[in-house]
């Protein structure tokens, strides 16, 4: 081959390489360069290996644009980073699709199933059926029996803390005046969603079963990555041990599925024989029993397992994580703790636990919770959306099937919206009269894909946080991970488990 031909070949290869590294669809947002195999994910890892999504802030500043693009593997991705962009994406039907990675299909028996990681045709029917029927049992609306159950569960939790463990399982969460967070919260959180799912609750002697469910849920959450990550782009890595926590993600979900399988196997005949369903699971089984074709509109036993798990696992992971973050924040800001306690003492007193009706009269307590969920965004990039058709976003072209990431963490820390986002200041959620004002935060998303469990989660977080600060003062324990930076990355950011000293208030 002549020297000239070699030069031409080399230049052509370099040109193709340049096009690959910098290329993207026409008239799309400014983009991060990509490399072979994982695309721009290499760059995000280089910027922050533990929390790759935090690298995005550098490119937002570099390009002077609140909307940027990149490639995750072979998928073109657009990322919105401010209030206007996030709200636009979450409220437009063109972006209601859901990106479902191979790893999320594997956890769903190889298909698109369930609620969170699904946009197949039957998703609308499954979500509608689930919410309509779960509301009958107290999910997402006021329900006296559910609120009474919650008071009973809170009483059990307080008794466990005050009077100590009654079995070896409880010794793992209570040791004298030391209490292990978030694990102490697990039974209460799961028992409440389980009362809606099954119409019954586990008694205290069986709480170890609920703790295991929460451990599986936490393992699943930690096995993922808010950016999609290596497990999403290269699911075959699961065949090589636990690289990038692929095995953890799948094993955690399998543990939750097995919990439901065992319960349904033991109770299916009894639930179908009942004239009136006592929970969502029995309602679904009655529906299956009436259908001529179980696959009609996606109804099946596998779909039941997925839907029930998708509604249950956030209660066993994201909710106790959020409560623990609330406690850690007020421990670092004792002046906020004192204001919360003073408000609860004035409105509720000490003779009973705070109830949902008290929430409207405890604006500072609620503002503190909102501030925690702003500054400690549970799911930094939310769950990926997908453009269901060619469209435009702030003048940019968005091709069909583009993945859209809503950077809730960036939006919640944007000075243009919050002024001083780096400061922990619950007062930002209050008006001049000390009442709750407009809430610009979106920890649960917005629009049609709004987290279906938002009302339930807020009910749980408010009730448990208010009850704990009503009853106790909290102290750090030497050697325990109590820094606000002590967190575990994943689909949902979770605080590291820690022993905290609880002193009954005088």
> Cα separation of 370 and 362, whole Å?
13
The residue written with tokens 């070949």 in the block is 9
What's the rounded Cα separation, in Å, for the pair 168 and 211? 13
Report the alpha-carbon distance of residue 227 to residue 409 in Å, rounded: 12
3-state secondary structure of 384: coil
SS3 label, residue 405:
strand
* CA gap 434, 414 in Å, rounded: 24
Check the CA dihedral 285-290-295-296 and report its sign. Answer: negative
What are the backbone dihedrals phi and psi of residue 35, each rounded to the nearest 5 degrees, phi first? -125, 165
Dist. CA 194–CA 189, nearest whole Å? 9
Q: Which residues pair with 31 in a beta bridge?
A: 69
How far is residue 2's CA from residue 4's CA, in Å, rounded to a whole number? 5
**Which residues, listed in sequence order, are joined to residue 403 by a DSSP beta bridge?**
77, 386
Angle, helices 363-375 vs 318-332, to 10°: value is: 100
Residue pair 382/445 in contact (Cβ under 8 Å)? The answer is yes
Is 451 assigned a ligand-binding role in the annotation? Answer: yes
Shortest CA distance to 491 belongs to which of 282, 252, 256, 262? Answer: 252
Annotated binding site for heme: 451
Annotated binding site: 451
């Amino acid at each position: 081959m002549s020297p000239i031909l070699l030069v031409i070949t080399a230049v052509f290869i370099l040109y193709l390489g340049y096009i690959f590294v910098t290329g993207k669809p026409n008239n799309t947002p400014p983009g991060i360069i990509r490399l072979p195999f994982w695309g721009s994910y290499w760059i995000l890892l280089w910027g922050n290996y533990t929390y790759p999504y935090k690298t995005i802030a550098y490119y937002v500043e570099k390009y002077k644009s609140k909307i940027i693009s990149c490639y995750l593997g072979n998928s073109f991705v657009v990322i919105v980073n401010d209030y206007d962009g996030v709200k636009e994406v979450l409220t437009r039907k063109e972006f209601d699709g859901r990106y479902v990675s191979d790893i999320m299909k594997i956890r769903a028996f190889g298909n698109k199933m369930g609620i969170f990681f699904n946009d197949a045709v039957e998703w609308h029917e499954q979500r509608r059926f689930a919410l309509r029927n779960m509301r009958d049992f107290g999910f997402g609306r006021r329900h006296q029996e559910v609120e009474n159950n919650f008071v009973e569960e809170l009483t059990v939790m307080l008794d466990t803390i005050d009077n100590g463990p009654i079995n070896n399982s409880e010794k793992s969460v209570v040791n004298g005046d030391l209490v292990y967070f978030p694990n102490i919260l697990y039974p209460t959180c799961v028992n409440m969603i389980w009362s809606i799912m099954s119409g019954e609750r586990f008694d205290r002697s069986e709480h170890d079963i609920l703790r295991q469910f929460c451990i599986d849920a936490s393992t699943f959450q930690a096995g993922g990555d808010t950016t999609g990550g290596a497990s999403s782009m290269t699911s075959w890595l699961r065949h090589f041990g636990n690289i990038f926590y692929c095995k953890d993600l799948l094993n955690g979900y399998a543990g939750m599925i097995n919990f439901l399988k065992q319960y349904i196997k033991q109770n299916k005949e009894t639930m179908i024989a009942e004239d009136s369903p006592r929970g969502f699971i029995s309602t679904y089984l009655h529906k299956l029993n009436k259908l001529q074709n179980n696959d009609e509109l996606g109804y099946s036993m596998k779909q039941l397992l997925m839907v029930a798990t998708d509604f249950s696992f956030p209660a066993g992971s994201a909710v106790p994580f959020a409560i623990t973050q609330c406690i850690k924040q007020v421990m670092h800001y004792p002046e906020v703790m004192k204001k919360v306690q003073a408000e609860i003492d004035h409105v509720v007193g000490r003779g009973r636990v705070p109830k949902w009706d008290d929430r409207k009269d405890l604006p500072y307590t609620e503002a503190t919770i909102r501030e925690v969920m702003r500054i400690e965004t549970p799911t930094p990039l939310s769950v990926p959306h997908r453009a269901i058709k060619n469209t435009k976003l702030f003048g940019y072209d968005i091709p069909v099937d583009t993945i859209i990431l809503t950077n809730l963490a960036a939006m919640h820390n944007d000075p243009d919206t919050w002024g001083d986002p780096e400061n922990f200041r619950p007062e930002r959620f209050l008006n001049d009269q000390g009442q709750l004002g407009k809430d610009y935060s979106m920890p649960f998303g917005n629009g049609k894909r709004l987290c279906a469990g938002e009302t339930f989660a807020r009910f749980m977080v408010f009730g448990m946080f208010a009850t704990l600060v009503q009853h106790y003062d909290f102290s750090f324990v030497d050697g325990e991970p109590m820094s606000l930076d002590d967190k575990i990355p994943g689909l949902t950011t979770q605080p590291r488990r820690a022993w905290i000293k609880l002193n009954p208030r005088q």
